[in-house]
Chain A
Amino acid sequence: MIRPHDSIIVQSLGRFLIPVIQIFGLYVLFFGQYGPGGGFVGGVILGTSMILSVLTFGHDATRSQIAKKVLHGDGVGMLIYAGVGGLCMIGGGEFLNYAHLEIPGLEVAARRSLGIVLTQIGVAIDVAVTAVSIVFSLSAEEIIEDVTNG
């Protein structure tokens, strides 16, 4: 159980910083094809923003509801990743051979680029959910009932 932080400085800074961090995380996630970054780092940054909101505003605040809802997505990232691989198999290729993603009107290289984006989103979701989940596990006391009751 994490209580909200007392200091108004921390609260106002958190209010200002959390959206910035989230936008930066999305930028890193989708810019990973053109520069440093990618799914793993983007996911960690997104997870960190949610951890920051939990640490700043407390476990029960409305701003932390997103972090709590995120826990229901445990495993979704992996499903996206493996699902892309499965779609490639349905398209007639090997597992995770993005050239066989069946999307009309795209060249082979563009299909592979799209496959990279989709799997990166999967990695990012998986990493973000895991980061939030571990922080909740480390500070767990009355969390289980909250999570199971929604």
Chain B
Amino acid sequence: MTFSFEILLLILLLVTAAGAILVKDLMSAILLLGSYSFFLALVWAWLGAVDVAFVEAVVGAGLATVLFLLTLFGTAPKDSRLRRPPPPIAALFALPLLGVLLLYAANDLPKFGDPTSPASTHISPAYLERSYQDTQTPNVVTSVLMDYRSLDTMVETVVIFTAGIACALLLRRQAS
């Protein structure tokens, strides 16, 4: 039962992603991208990464869609239709080859949830064992993000701040 659910989710992901690229109308492309983000959030939640799923649903399906739509309403009607040239022949050969290479490399990745994989033996056990007595925070993701890796999160905040400032500098200038 879970197996068919998983297959259905992945097919929906592929369909919405291909649709967002192939569709002619930009408005439809934005809405398809939003639904793609939502399906991706479902995949994250199904894999157990609930925090990532939350961010993907709120930012990818919610905020980014609004920003794209506002940008689209700021354009002229002739800009919002696309004409795509056919893909070059080199790409037709090289990209499937790259896909085969990636699939080949994916064979060597550790299995999902493998307790002996490098990701779950190096430092994760220390975080999982000591998080609660160190920080009184039951959610380990939060304690890693905001305490053990706090400096990284601060610089991420600086990045977001810079993005807002850059948007204001670039877009609000034409008004004056």
Interface residue tally for chain B (C-beta within 8 Å): 46
Decide if A130 touches B163 in the complex (CB within 8 Å).
yes
Decide if B176 touches A137 in the complex (CB within 8 Å).
no
Classify the interface of chain A: helix, strand, loop or mixed.
helix
Q: B residues 66-109 with Cβ under 8 Å of A? A: 66-67, 70-71, 74
Task: Kindly state whether residue A17 has any CB partner on chain B within 8 Å.
Answer: no
Set of chain B residues within 8 Å of A109, measured between Cβ atoms? 133-136
Decide if A135 touches B67 in the complex (CB within 8 Å).
yes
Which of the segments B14-22, B26-34, B118-126, B141-149 contacts the partner chain?
B141-149
Task: Kindly state whether residue B63 has any CB partner on chain A within 8 Å.
Answer: yes
Decide if A116 touches B142 in the complex (CB within 8 Å).
yes
Decide if B172 touches A137 in the complex (CB within 8 Å).
yes
Task: Kindly state whether residue B50 has any CB partner on chain A within 8 Å.
Answer: yes
Task: Kindly state whether residue A57 has any CB partner on chain B within 8 Å.
Answer: no
Question: Contacts A44-B59, A137-B168 known; A123 to B70 CB distance under 8 Å?
Answer: no
Chain A contact-residue range equals: 35 or more
Task: Kindly state whether residue B160 has any CB partner on chain A within 8 Å.
Answer: yes
Classify the interface of chain B: helix, strand, loop or mixed.
helix
Decide if B139 touches A33 in the complex (CB within 8 Å).
yes
Task: Kindly state whether residue A41 has any CB partner on chain B within 8 Å.
Answer: yes
CB nearest to A44 among chain B residues = B58
Decide if B74 touches A138 in the complex (CB within 8 Å).
yes
Query: B153 is contacted by which of A35, A119, A143 (Cβ under 8 Å)?
Result: A119
Question: Contacts A77-B157, A123-B157 known; A37 to B136 CB distance under 8 Å?
Answer: no
Task: Kindly state whether residue B10 has any CB partner on chain A within 8 Å.
Answer: no
Q: Interface 1/0s, chain A 102-139, versus B by CB < 8 A?
A: 00000001101101100110110011011101110111
Task: Kindly state whether residue B158 has any CB partner on chain A within 8 Å.
Answer: yes
Taking the closest CB of chain B, its distance from the CB of A10, in whole angstroms, is 15
Set of chain A residues within 8 Å of B115, measured between Cβ atoms? none
Question: Contacts A44-B62, A109-B136, A134-B167 known; A119 to B175 CB distance under 8 Å?
Answer: no
Decide if B172 touches A126 in the complex (CB within 8 Å).
no
Taking the closest CB of chain A, its distance from the CB of B110, in whole angstroms, is 25
Question: 25 A-B Cβ contacts within 8 A?
Answer: A28-B54, A33-B138, A38-B51, A38-B139, A41-B54, A44-B59, A47-B63, A51-B66, A74-B161, A78-B154, A81-B154, A85-B150, A96-B150, A96-B154, A98-B147, A109-B135, A109-B136, A112-B135, A112-B136, A116-B143, A131-B63, A135-B70, A137-B171, A138-B74, A140-B172
Q: Which residues of A contact B (CB under 8 A)?
A: 28, 32-41, 44-45, 47-48, 51, 55, 74-75, 77-78, 81-82, 85, 95-96, 98, 109-110, 112-113, 115-116, 119-120, 122-123, 126-127, 129-131, 133-135, 137-144
The 7 closest A-B pairs by CB, nearest first: A130-B164, A137-B171, A36-B50, A113-B136, A138-B70, A96-B150, A137-B167
